[in-house]
Amino acid sequence: MRADPFRLHAEDGADLHVYRWLPERAPRAIVQISHGLAEHAGRYQRLAEALTGAGYGVYANDHRGHGRSASPDDLGFFAGRDGWARAMGDLWTLNRRIAADLPDAKVIFLGHSMGSFMGQQFMAEHGAALAGCALSGSNGAPPAIAAVGRFIARIERLRLGPRGKSPLLEKMFFGAFNKKFAPNRTGFDWLSRDGQEVDKYVADPLCGFPFTTQLAVDLLDALGGLTRPGTVAQIPRDLPVYIFSGGQDPVGDNLNGLIEAYRRGGLNRLSVRIYPDARHEMFNETNRDEATRDLVTWMDSLL
């Protein structure tokens, strides 16, 4: 099934590329996908085909600074200011577009990696608009040393400018993740045990690109507040939340912290699934079919 793409105008005038996949009959629900850092929503074609085959519709936007939402000069750049808030606003704009297109359809949010951090915030801000939220490749509160990373990001922004690309920051993000799997065949072995999927990522010009110093500041500033009690308290307690991850995912070094934060916050429909030997991208892993089936089973239970 081919995507039916369209353009979406953000509140600040930014032009976003959106992929839309719909089943032949009225969808059971809509899955709104939020992709990760330095990738794009087009990579979720295979997942979308499986979801539409199970009766679900899928909407997924390329975040600003990513994929077909970005010009080559804007890859890895959200905005000059309030970049994270603007990207979050884009997700709400898309959610409202879904509601306008299909007013009777429930919406399930699926966020991967950076998109999962957006999902954590989206639940707190707009949880009442969701039938459930699935978080893939996520993590809990960053460690205390993350403050050093925020400081370094600001120094690099001062040195290189907001649109500058810092090899040091790229090494801090992606290089650190790959160390766990040395000796490395590529710079992205941490993504999956499936070498062919890793090679597809490496060969894709819209994946793995250097991100700007400003985006690094935007992202690092956002992470610290996502699991604070005040933020978690804003999530509806009866909202179904599904956290799933590879057991060898280097991004999820504090995944238990996220789970505990949600349990302490009283979320009473929390489900967790860890795939022991898998890495970061469960939908591109060697057991991706299993992960997809488990996601569909969870979603089916909500309807």
pLDDT digits 0-9 by tens, 210-242:
999 999 999 999 999 999 999 999 999 999 999
pLDDT digits 0-9 by tens, 112-165:
999 999 999 999 999 999 999 999 999 999 887 788 889 999 999 999 999 999
Residue 175 within a domain: no
CA–CA dist 75, 70 (Å, integer): 6
Domain of 62, in residue numbers: 6-141+224-300
Residue 82 sits in a domain whose CATH number is 3.40.50.1820
**Amino acid in position 89:** G
Residue 75 within a domain: yes
Averaged pLDDT for residues 244-252:
96
For residue 245, give the H/E element and its range: strand 241-246
3-state secondary structure string across 143-196: CCCHHHHHHHHHHHHHHHCCCCECHHHHHHHHHHHHHHHCCCCCCCHHHCCCHH
Residue 150 within a domain: no
Give residue 176's pLDDT band: very low, low, confident or very high (50, 70, 90): confident
Q: Give residue for tokens 């810092």.
A: 166
| Residues near 188 by beta carbon (within 8 Å), at least 6 away in sequence | 174, 178, 198, 201, 202, 208
Contact indicator for 117, 231 with CB cutoff of 8 Å: no
Q: What is the pLDDT of residue 172?
A: 86
What pTM did the predictor assign? 0.97
Residue 122 within a domain: yes
Residue 107 within a domain: yes
CB atoms within 10 A of CB 266: 12
Averaged pLDDT for residues 196-211:
97
Please provide the average confidence, as pLDDT, over all residues in the chain.
96
Distance of alpha carbon 229 from the chain centroid: 22
Averaged pLDDT for residues 267-287:
98
Averaged pLDDT for residues 7-19:
95
Residue 171 within a domain: no
Beta strand pairing call for 15-21 and 6-9: antiparallel
**What does the DSSP 8-state code read for residue 74?**
G
Q: What is the pLDDT of residue 143?
A: 80
What's the total number of domains in the chain?
1
